[in-house]
Amino acid sequence: ERAIKSFKESLDIFESSPIVHHQMAAIYKKEEKYNLALQHSKRAVELKGEKIWYLKQLAELYDEKNNYQEAVKVYNQIINLFPKDAETYYELAKLHLYKEELQKAIDTYDRLEKQVGINPKVINQKKRIYLKLNKVEQAANEIKKLIEKNPQNLEYHRMLAKIYTANDMNEKAVKTYEKILEIKPDDGKTLLAMARHHKRNGDDQKAFEYLKRAFGDPNLDVDDKVKTLLSNYLVGGFKQNNKEEAFALGEILVAKHPDEAKAHAVYGDFLYQDDQLKEARKQYRQATNLDKDVYQVWEQMLYIEWELEDFDAMKSESNEALTYFPNQPTLYLLNGIANVRLENYQEAVTKLESGLNLNISQEQSKVQFYLNLADAHDHLEQYEQSGSFFEKALEVKPNDPLILNNYSYNLALREEKLDKAEQMSQKSLSLKSENAAYLDTYGWIQYNKGNYQEAKKYVKKALNKSPEDPELLDHYGDVLFKLGKKQEAIKHWQEALDNGSESDLIKKKIRDKTVYEE
């Protein structure tokens, strides 16, 4: 308000001053009082019409008032007075575009081009308009102007090829790409484009040759290579018939980008899909050495350790991962599993309980924590705690046959609550009647209850499904012994040893020709 008052006072003295009217217009425009702003701007132009800033202000105000025709007139007036002012051409073209007067916009850019010469910004604007008008050749001709001016600029050639490709003018696109490769034979982006072209045309072998050359360009961004590798060979499932190509490209990828974690990670993914677990682990380890902050790589590596049963590595690497991701429950779970398998039961309990204290949303994850805690407590002879965790697991999944079987088997081994164990085992068999482990559990419960004929029936069924399982052979030997079939029992105990068991108790049973309870 003070500024307006001050300028009004100035107007009383300097009514014919264009600068005062110009400033008044600026103040009213800021306050969105466009009618008053327009009055003062017109007066400033009347007093000094050749001043560019006064004219631009007037054109902008007409634009604000949606007076398109007057704005166009003023912009043309500016161009006639100041033909080298590029900004005005852009503003005028923008108005024409807004009104969908596309040819007039092109004409405006042509006028500018006559003043400033071939200009990438102007050319790009004209190209977009021509494409909008579906005038593909005219759009291409605009880019050709840039190429003619700077024939070594590969980006201009790529822009031209992109126009042809997008409009199914494949022959022209290929010729353009070939021209780029004459200039730079190892240009990765162009080689990728040629690979895509041949892939579309069904020439997979030629496409692969271009892909190999593209991957060999160390200047081609690693993200482009990773995206290409995944889209061609992993999306929709790993294709065994193309795996040699995928591995060849993966090897080139890590050779050309040895310091890029994502290169090793994606190559590891392919190796994992092909069950090359040790080689996959090697790549994941390299990825985690280069970049500690990608959680998924750590987790995948730990699951491979589990599959390889390398529990020492699983333990140490999960401990390292926890220093970077202390709030990831799965890391505590995997560490706990490793410690259980390494018979570090108290350490397993500590880690598993730490993980369980985190916010675990997935039911399956909770169940895994409960089952492993039950197992660890059982080995620590903390049977009450073990049973408690089995019960918690059943609260989450009351009809899970694995939980029912494991709980009932633990009770059978301890010869405790055999009626409860029998009920749970029967339920697990009603859910999965052909599972060898579940059949053995029910048989072993019957054994501990003294029902040896029933025990024989179920352990034999289990053994028929898994005839080389040393634990089943041992159990069946015990059952036979109780039924008075000593020689057959000894034969099955020996078969248990022959199939990999290292149990000193089995050796003692064979030596003494009798059953010993554990």
Residue 330 has pLDDT above 70, yes or no: yes
Structure confidence by residue, pLDDT tens digits, 76-88: 999 999 999 999 9
Which of 117, 137, 163 is the endpoint of a domain? 117
pLDDT tier for residue 236 given thresholds of 50, 70 and 90:
low
User: Are residues 112 and 190 both part of a single domain?
Assistant: no
Q: Report the pLDDT value the prediction gives residue 134, as an integer from 0 to 100.
A: 95
pLDDT per residue over 389-439, tens digit each? 999 999 999 999 999 999 999 999 999 999 999 999 999 999 999 999 999
Please report whether residue 105 resides in a domain.
yes
Distance CA 165, CA 196 (A): 11
How far apart, in whole angstroms, are the C-alpha atoms of residue 207 and residue 186?
15
* Domain's final residue, options 63, 94, 117: 117
Can you give the pLDDT at residue 473? 95
Verify that 10 and 113 share a domain, yes or no: yes
Residues comprising the chain, all counted: 518
CATH for 239: 1.25.40.10
Higher pLDDT, 375 or 9: 375
- Residue 14 has a pLDDT of 47
Q: In which residue are the tokens 């072209």 written?
A: 197
* Residue 13: per-residue pLDDT: 45
Mean pLDDT of 326-343: 96
User: 272 and 194 in one domain?
Assistant: yes
Region of poorest pLDDT, from 114-128, 229-243, 314-328, 412-426: 229-243
The answer on pLDDT for 488 being more than 60 is: yes
Query: What average pLDDT does this structure show over 333-354?
Result: 97
Q: Which helix (H) or strand (E) holds 174?
A: helix 170-183
Percent of the chain with pLDDT over 90: 81
Q: What is the mean pLDDT of residues 117-137?
A: 95
Each residue's pLDDT tens digit, 130-165 = 999 999 999 999 999 999 999 999 999 999 999 999
Burial class (CB in 10 A: 0-12, 13-18, 19+), 376: buried
Residue 447 lies in a domain: no
Q: Give the predicted TM-score (pTM) of the model.
A: 0.79
User: 442, 435, 474, 473: which is closest to 457 by C-alpha?
Assistant: 442
Identify whether 44 is part of a domain. Answer: yes
Distance CA 7, CA 14 (A): 10
Rounded Cα gap, residues 69 and 188, in angstroms: 50
d(Cα 404, Cα 422) in Å, to the nearest integer?
10
pLDDT tens readout for residues 92-103: 999 999 999 999
- Find, among 320, 355, 317, the residue nearest to 336 by Cα: 355
Residue 127: C-alpha distances to residues 122, 124, 133, 232, 326 (Å): 9, 5, 10, 32, 53
Rg (CA), the chain: 40
The per-residue pLDDT for range 297-325, each reduced to its tens digit, is 999 999 999 999 999 999 999 999 999 99
Whole-angstrom distance, CA of residue 226 vs CA of residue 229? 5
Last residue of a domain, one of 58, 89, 117: 117
DSSP 18: H
- Determine the pLDDT at residue 359: 75
Question: Does the pLDDT of residue 209 top 70, yes or no?
Answer: yes
Q: What is the residue-averaged pLDDT of the chain?
A: 92
- What gap in Å lies between CA 405 and CA 213, rounded to an integer? 56
Helices of type H across 65-135 = 68-81, 86-98, 102-116, 120-132
Is residue 157 domain-resident?
A: no
Q: How confident is the model at residue 363 (pLDDT cuts 50, 70, 90)?
A: confident
| Inside any domain, residue 267 | yes
Three-state SS string across 29-47, please? HHCCCHHHHHHHHHHHHHH
Does residue 223 lie in a domain region? Answer: yes
1 shares its domain with 112: yes
Q: Which domain holds residue 235?
A: 186-290
- Three-state SS for 359-424 is CCCCHHHHHHHHHHHHHHHHHCCCHHHHHHHHHHHHHHCCCCHHHHHHHHHHHHHHCCCHHHHHHH
Task: Decide if pLDDT at 30 tops 50.
Answer: yes
The three-state secondary structure class of 186 is coil
Does residue 300 sit within a domain? no
Count how many domains the chain has. Answer: 2
**Strands (DSSP E) along 219-306, which ranges?**
none
The mean per-residue pLDDT over the stretch 202-222 comes to 94
- pLDDT at residue 7 greater than cutoff 70: no
Mean pLDDT across 17-43: 84
* pLDDT at 440 exceeding the cut of 50: yes
What pLDDT is recorded for position 9?
52
Q: What's the pLDDT at 36?
A: 87
Count of C-beta atoms within a 10 Å radius of residue 85? 16
pLDDT at 11 over 60: no
Angle of helix 486-498 relative to helix 470-482, nearest 10 degrees, comes to 170
Distances (CA, A) of 113 to 90, 134, 320: 11, 22, 62
The pLDDT of residue 243 is 87
Query: Measured in Å, how far apart are the chain's first and last C-alpha atoms?
Result: 98
- Whether 207 maps to a domain, the answer reads yes
3-state SS record for 282-299: HHHHHHHHHCCCCHHHHH
**Of 427, 429, 449, the residue nearest 439 (C-alpha):** 429
Q: Are 27 and 4 in contact (CB under 8 A)?
A: yes
Query: In degrees, to the nearest 5, what angle opens at C-alpha 421 toward C-alphas 416 and 423?
Result: 145
**Pair of tokens at residue 116:** 């400033």
C-beta separation of 431 from 401 below 8 A: yes
The predicted structure's pLDDT at residue 201: 87
CB 300 within 8 A of CB 272: yes
Examine the pLDDT at 288 and tell me if it is beyond 80: yes
- Which tens digits make up the pLDDT trace of 43-78? 888 887 678 988 999 899 988 888 999 999 999 999
> Long-range pairs for 363-371 at CB < 8 Å and ≥24 separation?
363/396, 363/397, 365/329, 365/330, 365/333, 366/396, 367/393, 367/396, 367/397, 367/400, 367/403, 368/333, 369/329, 369/333, 369/336, 370/396, 371/402, 371/403, 371/406
User: What pLDDT is attached to residue 2?
Assistant: 53
